[in-house]
């Protein structure tokens, strides 16, 4: 019988040449770098989605609070009328609604500004420095010293007490005359305006409860 030769293929071992090994190494490096870039983009995308999710959640929580409470605290333009309703008193009025917020006694500087002005050649006396707010320790929340000289226990050793209901937590005390709050919580302490609403006084929790008319 006649002998015939047929061409075919088999799955056999193939040894790479030196140039092929070098090309394989370069290709591996490129693919590895591309994979790292894909992973970095994925992490950035996840971070962006997380930030969007947190922003949307915060907006939903704010709107839910507005719907439940039916009010919010905002900075509202007001007008202070001196010598109203009579001499020596001042009246604070909301400009958006015309509501009278409070009527209190004028402070000494406001009374002096309304005195008749007489021309004088004497040099004006230097203005007194504004009263400084008491120093509050950032470690224990008590006045009169700072965290470096504090001898009390630090925040880690203190138990955080809940703030009384109806009391706002603020980082800085606002103008006592403009504020409508009976009590504020700032830097770990309770504050209440004095009788003429010219400054804030640090008060105990018991005094804060009395100001808010809360049961002990």
Which of 47, 206, 132 lies closest to 215 in space, CA to CA?
206
Number of folded domains in the chain?
3
Residue 17 lies inside a defined structural domain of this protein: yes
Q: Are residues 142 and 212 in the same domain?
A: yes
Q: What is the pLDDT along the chain (216 residues), one digit of tens a residue?
A: 677 888 899 999 999 999 999 999 999 999 999 999 999 999 999 999 999 999 999 999 999 999 999 999 989 999 999 998 899 899 999 999 999 999 999 888 888 876 655 554 556 556 655 555 566 666 566 666 666 676 655 444 445 567 888 888 888 888 888 888 888 888 888 888 888 788 888 888 888 888 887 655
Residue 125 lies inside a defined structural domain of this protein: no
Give 6-32 as a DSSP string: ---------PPPHHHHHHHHHHHHHHH
Q: Are residues 66 and 80 in the same domain?
A: no
Length of the chain counted residue by residue = 216
Residue 124 lies inside a defined structural domain of this protein: no
Range of the domain at 45: 13-72
Q: Are residues 65 and 89 in the same domain?
A: no
Q: Are residues 34 and 21 in the same domain?
A: yes
Residue 104 lies inside a defined structural domain of this protein: yes
Give pTM, 2 decimals: 0.39
Q: Which residues pair with 104 in a beta bridge?
A: 90
Q: How far apart (Å, rounded) are the C-alpha atoms in residues 101 and 194?
A: 16
Q: Are residues 65 and 83 in the same domain?
A: no
Residue 181 lies inside a defined structural domain of this protein: yes
Residue 126 lies inside a defined structural domain of this protein: no
Q: Are residues 146 and 212 in the same domain?
A: yes
What are the CA-CA distances from residue 36 to residues 28, 52, 206 (Å)?
A: 12, 25, 60
Q: Are residues 162 and 213 in the same domain?
A: yes
DSSP single-letter state for residue 2: -
Residue 51 lies inside a defined structural domain of this protein: yes
Q: Are residues 91 and 68 in the same domain?
A: no
């Amino acid at each position: 019988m006649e002998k015939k030769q047929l061409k075919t293929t088999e799955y056999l071992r193939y040894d790479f040449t030196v140039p092929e090994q070098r090309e394989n190494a370069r290709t591996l490096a490129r693919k590895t770098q591309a994979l790292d870039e894909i992973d970095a983009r994925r992490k950035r995308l996840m971070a962006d989605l997380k930030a969007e999710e947190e922003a949307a959640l915060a907006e939903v929580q704010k709107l839910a609070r507005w719907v439940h409470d039916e009010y919010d605290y905002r900075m509202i333009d007001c007008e202070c009328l001196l010598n109203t309703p009579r001499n020596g008193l001042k009246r604070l009025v909301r400009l958006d609604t015309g509501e009278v917020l409070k009527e209190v006694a004028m402070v000494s500087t406001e009374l002096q500004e309304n005195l008749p002005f007489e021309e004088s050649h004497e040099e004006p006396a230097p203005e007194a420095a504004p009263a400084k707010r008491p120093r509050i320790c950032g470690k224990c929340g008590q006045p009169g010293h700072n965290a470096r000289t504090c001898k009390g226990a630090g925040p880690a050793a203190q138990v955080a007490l809940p703030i009384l209901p109806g009391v706002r937590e603020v980082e800085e005390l606002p103008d006592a005359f403009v504020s409508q709050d009976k009590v504020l919580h700032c830097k770990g302490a309770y504050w209440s305006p004095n009788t003429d609403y010219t400054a804030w006084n640090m008060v105990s929790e018991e005094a804060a409860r009395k100001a808010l008319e809360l049961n002990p």
